[in-house]
Amino acid sequence: MIENEFDILIVGGGASGFFTAIQIAEQNPNLSICILEQSKKVLEKVKISGGGRCNVTNICSDPKELVKNYPRGNKNLLNIFYAFNTTHTIRWFEEHNIQLKTESDGRVFPKSNTSQTIIDCFLNLCHQYKITIQTEQKVVQIKAIEQAFHLQTLNNKYICKKLVLACSTNKIILDEIEKLNISTIPLIPSLFSFNTKNLLFKELAGITLENCTAQIVNTKIRTEGNILITHTGVTGPCILKLSAYGAKELFQLNYNTDIIINWNNDNFNDTISVLSDFKISEAKKKVSNVKPYSIPNRFWNNLLAISSIDKEKKWADLNKQEIKNLAINLSQFSLRINGKSTNKDEFVTAGGISLQAVNMKTMQSKQYENLYFTGEILDIDGITGGFNFQAAWSTAYLAAKHIASLDS
């Protein structure tokens, strides 16, 4: 095996790994830096994120508000976001000739509408700063020997003065971390869609319900937002947020449980009142033709069916039980979850390096001063909307700033 020696080794050719490398090089171009990526291609998650457009961050810039979007790591991120938040991210990309745009929901994308813009920016900067990129280098061993780290991949051996772990979490890496007596948190999925066999959704794939709420039964975990019906179940911001905040509870339940959905943003009593008033005001009209809430027609007709209401009935002919059934299914709909699906091929996990083992001001290991952690490998995860990338940029910035300052 060939032995390669660098000042800085970065394990992980994703968003955080590249940003760390570039930030170090910008501040101290004299350091030799190498990025190791286990797959054939780098920045693959950047490529597919945001439906191929790359949701680089979110417009939310106040650190106190920003941390509310992280089910895990929020308290630890506060000072990090004071140092480098979404405003800094936007400024950095714009200074590197990437034009950005903000969409109505606060998500920030490149104006080009393609993630390749971000990938090209990173690759060009790596070329400019002579940062070495080596693919198909799966790390299988990490050893701390005296003042250096020795890494072994399936192909080569590497030695570095400082090591940055910026990779996605996997069993081999976590096993090596644990051999160094650094504490870790078990990995569990976060940010996923729910599968269901409920007949309400039959042949309704593609329909979006706006301003819904959802809650996992027997918990206080409740989220708001739009819900999108898919071929296998439900997704959309409301569901994805629920999966993130309820990641541990859902894992323990083996993704088989009930959630309660409110489709109309009125509580049960208010829904009864609205339906009763509608029964009078629209008495002569068919229940299938007019409805009191802004709900897609096909969804409304399925809702009538599961409420045991003949869609040919007129509003005046609905009895109290039918009104009650409809109110329950509008405001307290019980949905059985039968498993989960990955959200748009974007795999996010909770767990990883325990934040108790990290100096959150520098992203250094508390046990090894020359070892740093950034991005996905940390026990930090955000909801959908550019927040996971922001955590990657921010932790990379702090690690890079500290590394560059020590060797300047």
pLDDT digits (tens, 9 = 90+) for 6-59: 999 999 999 999 999 999 999 999 999 999 999 999 999 999 999 999 999 999
Contact call for residues 214 and 260 (beta carbons, < 8 A) = yes
pTM of model > 0.85: yes
Q: What does DSSP assign to residue 42?
A: S
* Mean pLDDT in residue range 69-84: 97
Q: What is the widest separation between alpha-carbon atoms in the chain?
A: 86
Scored b (16 or more CB within 10 A) or e, 365-375 reads beebebbbbbb
Contact call for residues 101 and 109 (beta carbons, < 8 A) = yes
Q: Which two tokens stand for residue 117?
A: 């813009």
CATH class of the region 3-189+349-406: alpha beta
Give the pLDDT of residue 168: 87
State yes or no: pLDDT of 408 exceeds 60: no
Give the pLDDT of residue 342: 83
d(CA 174, CA 32): 26
Q: Which two tokens stand for residue 172?
A: 């081999």
Confidence of residue 406 (pLDDT cuts 50, 70, 90): confident
Q: Where are the domains of the chain?
A: 3-189+349-406, 192-342
d(CA 17, CA 84): 16
Per residue in 150-181, pLDDT (tens digit) is: 999 998 999 999 999 999 888 899 899 999 99
- CA gyration radius, the chain: 25
Instruction: Kindly write down the DSSP assignment for every residue of 215-266, as one continuous string.
Output: EETTS--EEEEEEEE-SSEEESHHHHHHHHHTHHHHHHTTTEEEEEEESSSS
Q: Looking up tokens 């088989």, which residue turns up?
A: 256
